[in-house]
Structure 1
Amino acid sequence: MSNLAANLTSTAAASPQAPALRLGDVIVTFAELQEQAARVAAVLDSRGVGVGDRVAMMLPNVLAFPAIFYGILRAGAIAVPLNPLLKSGEVEYMLRDSGAGLLFGWEAMGQDASAGAAAAAADVILIGDAGLAPVIEGVTPAGAPVDRADDDTAVILFTSGTTGHPKGAELTHHGLDSNQSLTVRTLINLTADDVVMGCLPLFHIFGLTTGLNAAIGAGACLTMLPRFDPRAALDILAGHNVTVFEGVPTMYSAMLAAAGDDEISIPDLRICVSGGSALPVRVLEEFEERFGCIILEGYGLSETSPVASFNHPDRDRKPGSIGTPVEGVEMRLVDDERRPVAEGEPGEIQIRGANVMKGYWGRPDATALAIDADGWFSTGDIATRDEEGYYRIVDRKKDLILRGGYNVYPREVEEVLHQHPSVAEAAVVGVPHDSLGEEVAAAVALKPGKEATPEELTEFVRDRIAAYKYPRHVWIVDALPKSATGKILRREVRATTHAES
């Protein structure tokens, strides 16, 4: 059996009274989490959800998330985690695309979840401050996790692209399990004595695998923070005896700033993990000096479950690099003709291994473009490799904007701008931001005789797309730069601003 939910069953059997989750002063044991997941599976069965059916979840980092996630898998269904900040149109699209007929949403953010589900003819279960109790009370727990094959899809994670609508990456039970297992065994060396801090959103693959799944697999406690706040994070690090912290670079910068000159001691913290984008060496050095623990950087994507390379704790660490491939994963650099490049020369990263996705849900053509016949997944990221095999990213996916750890794809935002009746052309680009890394900005050319202000366009997009995606800076131009064939050249768009924190 390869059901990822079996890890929870095993840990609960071995350490039933050990703390699995903590949120504030509330602690959930492994036995309690196991029973909650089993009851969620029973609820799904009563609603006719069967093996291979898709069930969406649109929740922040709350105690209900792990129980629902493992309950879905336990039932043999496929979990479809969604960002709770999505707008109704985005929710509708992802529910329709995945075929999810049921959505678990967070009541405080439930308006868009409910509206999107209604438009997609999907049912909704809203979870409020009372948590799962009203949903599972009196429900007889389901039996053991349903048998699944290694290559059966466990999770569909939507990852956008520069060519249009988001695509659902199919991650398998074996791929996710092997990735969490190597995280536990070789990268962080997790044990049942560890406390992992879950600041990373669990609907994102970074937090899902290296946070939740790894903690469950190791029998460690995951202490959660629904919304990242640097001061609150520091308080939890100290007060909850956290031993492992995982975050994106902006979190490390924010915690350093929040700490200021205060006397803060985090004696139990032994290791930190950074991913999502390159961590500035200055931030790494200052954080390590201030809090007395090392930060290890890694690299991966939603399509790779996610960990592909890492600065391993038992090897030399090279700040600014993404380390070397992890166990069971191959990486190489190729040119535009898919030929290997020379040492030290830039090339596109390709990845092969059990961690690579099965494909894009319902998109065989897109899958064939991304994964070749030999199983190599083309990332679109450009890197170099040194004589010791360490990789260093030199450029990201073409046109991708990374805002505070979230991926923003220009084409998706441009599509919304084009819905405005006055917009003729739009190019969305990233501009430097002191704390977020990049901020979303847009250059817009208007139709002849039409008018629109930057403020109006900003409001127009904000009402139609997730809050982290809409452009904070819009400027009107006469025309956008184009190639000889008329293609808009984003790389030649000149931003008029530098965003500040």
Structure 2
Amino acid sequence: MTENFWKDKYPVGIPADINADEYPNIQAVLQQSCQRFADKPAFSNLGKTLTYGELYELSGHFAAWLQQHTDLQPGDRIAVQLPNVLQYPVVVFGAMRAGLIVVNTNPLYTAREMEHQFNDSGAKALVCLANMAHLAEVVLPKTGVKHVIVTEVGDMLPPLKRLLVNSVVKYVKKMVPAYSLPQAIKLNDALAKGRGKSVNEASPAANDVAVLQYTGGTTGVAKGAMLTHRNLIANMLQCKALMGATLNEGSEILIAPLPLYHIYAFTVHCMMMMLTGNHNVLITNPRDLPAMIKDLGNFKFTAFVGLNTLFVALCNNEAFRRLDFSGLKLTLSGGMALQLAAAERWKEVTGCAICEGYGMTETSPVVTVNPIQNIQVGTIGIPVPSTSCKVIDEEGNDLPFGERGELCAKGPQVMKGYWQRQEATDEVLSADGWLQTGDIAVIQPDGFIRIVDRKKDMILVSGFNVYPNELEDVLATLPGVLQCAAIGVPDERTGEAIKVFVVVKPGASLTKEQVMQHMHDNLTGYKRPKQVEFRDSLPMTNVGKILRRELRDEELKKVAMA
């Protein structure tokens, strides 16, 4: 299968290639867009809107503070641990303008997970929400983080509303546990100190790292995928090329319920929408459906970016079904497999078909998308421009159309490698640029691709990758556990749910509640098991490796017989 095969597979008007070197770095994209669309709304949240001009101004304040009030140097890492609030784009783009590398960090991480990521990345600074500052207090003495910036949910709002929102979050909802971080500075104070100061605009090379995005890759050890400026710009241009005919510049309103710290939402909302000057409505807590739906009612939105579980939850909500969908012309799905029933229900409720795509953290992330002009439900679409895909057998040989094999991808969006892990990089990335995805796929003769299985043991919960190794490492530290295994089992709501199997040491006793509490204390929400099963033994190979596949097959048989 030649790389030229894909050239004639694109609908009319969509180029087969993009110029990944159109911009030297993300700063150039930001500057151009913020000047060109200065008066256009960029991000809205909690009733407040930042224009592109205001975003540039505020990110400049933060960049100036970083440069003139800290000892941080270009190339240093800054962990950004924020949900979807206006502070996120201000901080991220400000950090980039100062030449720092952004380490996207899940705000729901436990202290154990934070400590690993901060130490592995060598982060020297942290921006976090006050809600998580009590964990930072515990973690930071064990890390190299020297500079801490704390912000509250309402900090970007006008003074009275800011006071109201922050007080409700802190005192009524009691969502800000007490903490002591005497070295920390409030984000608004940092912005005030940077106001009026000049920024020494960083000018990184295209192949310099812009973002460290942590993932388990194909194993359970969390690794930082090095995404360069060129990687992210390429994927921005690739997404725009496929969707540009559908979205107009400076006039679209996109709903952003997926977290910006996840590379999928980051690329769509912070990169592609910035390039096109469009308006992103940030949903801070998509689990609060009534609040989210109330927010949606304030905008005649034209695009929606989500995943299977969210589509189902919304379509089952009567208030959502009453919204005005007359402007909706694009719905994007990624992060987890789109179920046919969910796709049909969404189209029935909103009148808009869902374009499903596929990607990985290691590919910035988009590899394939269903073109809006030609959606094939049940497939992940065709490769985005300047991207080739192939499937290979266990020996690495290319396979023909229609045969199952491991999906491999090649293009300018493929990561530079894993941060300080050359061996792990070499396992998945060939010398000539092919990335092995770990997913089993079939390439149809028309170029559309179907994912049919997973080579690796990864579990996919609501679009988030969960790695059994990490869960088993945590579970093994619980006194009384002799052996353990973690697998994914089918779940209507989240795609997969986590089930753990435990063999208890002779003479010891353990309860399900003890197992669940231990996992709760050490893992963020989506990594926690929903089911626990105690066994006398677990299936193993001759050399003592637990056979997760056998456990999965047993569970699938139970589902089939139910």
TM range (shorter): over 0.9
What is aligned with 1:265? 324
Of residues 296, 302, 311, the one that matches 1:243 is 302
Deviates more, 1:162-171 or 1:80-89: 162-171
**Is contact 2:406-2:455 (8 Å) kept?**
no
Q: d(CA) in 2 for partners of 1:110 and 1:300?
A: 32
What is aligned with 2:524? 466
Aligned-pair CA distance for 1:294: 2.0
Of residues 104, 107, 125, the one that matches 2:149 is 125
**Is contact 2:285-2:292 (8 Å) kept?**
no
Deviations 1:269-328 (A, max 9, x none): 1110001122111211121121111211111100000111111123x2210100111101
Compared CA separation, residues 479 and 266, structure 1 to 2 (3 A): same
**Is contact 1:197-1:211 (8 Å) kept?**
no
Deviates more, 1:3-12 or 1:27-36: 3-12
Aligned-pair CA distance for 1:130: 2.1
Asked whether 1:92 is paired with 2:148, we answer: no
SS of aligned partner of 2:235: helix
Deviations 1:223-257 (A, max 9, x none): 10011134444443342121110111111111111
Compared CA separation, residues 164 and 25, structure 1 to 2 (3 A): closer
**Is contact 2:300-2:324 (8 Å) kept?**
no
Aligned-pair CA distance for 1:454: 1.2
SS of aligned partner of 2:26: coil
Of residues 498, 502, 505, the one that matches 1:447 is 505
More strand by share: 1
Deviations 1:177-197 (A, max 9, x none): 121122223225432101111
Q: d(CA) in 2 for partners of 1:29 and 1:343?
A: 48
Aligned-pair CA distance for 1:141: 4.3
Consecutive unaligned residues in structure 1, runs of 5 or more: none
Asked whether 1:20 is paired with 2:20, we answer: no
Of residues 449, 452, 462, the one that matches 1:391 is 449
What is aligned with 1:169? 225
Asked whether 1:152 is paired with 2:221, we answer: no
What is aligned with 1:73? 96
Asked whether 1:3 is paired with 2:61, we answer: no
Q: Which has the higher contact order (CA 8 A, sep 6+)?
A: 2
Aligned-pair CA distance for 1:468: 1.5
Aligned-pair CA distance for 1:125: 1.3
Equivalent pairs counted in the alignment come to 497
Asked whether 1:253 is paired with 2:277, we answer: no
Deviations 1:379-418 (A, max 9, x none): 1011001110110000135221111221111110100000
**Is contact 2:151-2:188 (8 Å) kept?**
no
Q: d(CA) in 2 for partners of 1:194 and 1:264?
A: 17
SS of aligned partner of 1:443: strand
Compared CA separation, residues 97 and 11, structure 1 to 2 (3 A): same
What is aligned with 2:9? none
After TM superposition, the structure 1 = structure 2 runs for residues 227-242 of structure 1, keeping only pairs within 5 Å, are 227-229=285-287, 230-242=289-301
SS of aligned partner of 2:324: coil
What is aligned with 2:136? 113
| Amino acid paired to 2:203 | D
Asked whether 1:301 is paired with 2:360, we answer: yes
Of residues 401, 404, 408, the one that matches 1:350 is 408
What is aligned with 2:376? 318
- Cα RMSD (Å) of the superposition? 1.8
**Is contact 2:441-2:453 (8 Å) kept?**
yes
Of residues 97, 105, 109, the one that matches 1:82 is 105
SS of aligned partner of 1:165: coil
Q: d(CA) in 2 for partners of 1:434 and 1:313?
A: 26
Q: d(CA) in 1 for partners of 2:334 and 2:55?
A: 28
Of residues 125, 137, 143, the one that matches 2:192 is 137
What is aligned with 2:170? none
Q: d(CA) in 1 for partners of 2:397 and 2:229?
A: 32
**Is contact 2:471-2:486 (8 Å) kept?**
yes
Of residues 387, 393, 408, the one that matches 2:466 is 408
Asked whether 1:222 is paired with 2:280, we answer: yes
Aligned-pair CA distance for 1:48: 1.4
Compared CA separation, residues 372 and 40, structure 1 to 2 (3 A): same
SS of aligned partner of 2:525: coil
Deviates more, 1:372-381 or 1:210-219: 210-219
Q: d(CA) in 1 for partners of 2:555 and 2:393?
A: 30
Q: d(CA) in 2 for partners of 1:456 and 1:232?
A: 34
SS of aligned partner of 1:117: helix
Deviates more, 1:416-425 or 1:210-219: 210-219
Consecutive unaligned residues in structure 2, runs of 5 or more: 1-22, 157-186
Deviations 1:11-52 (A, max 9, x none): 221222211110131011111110111111112212111111
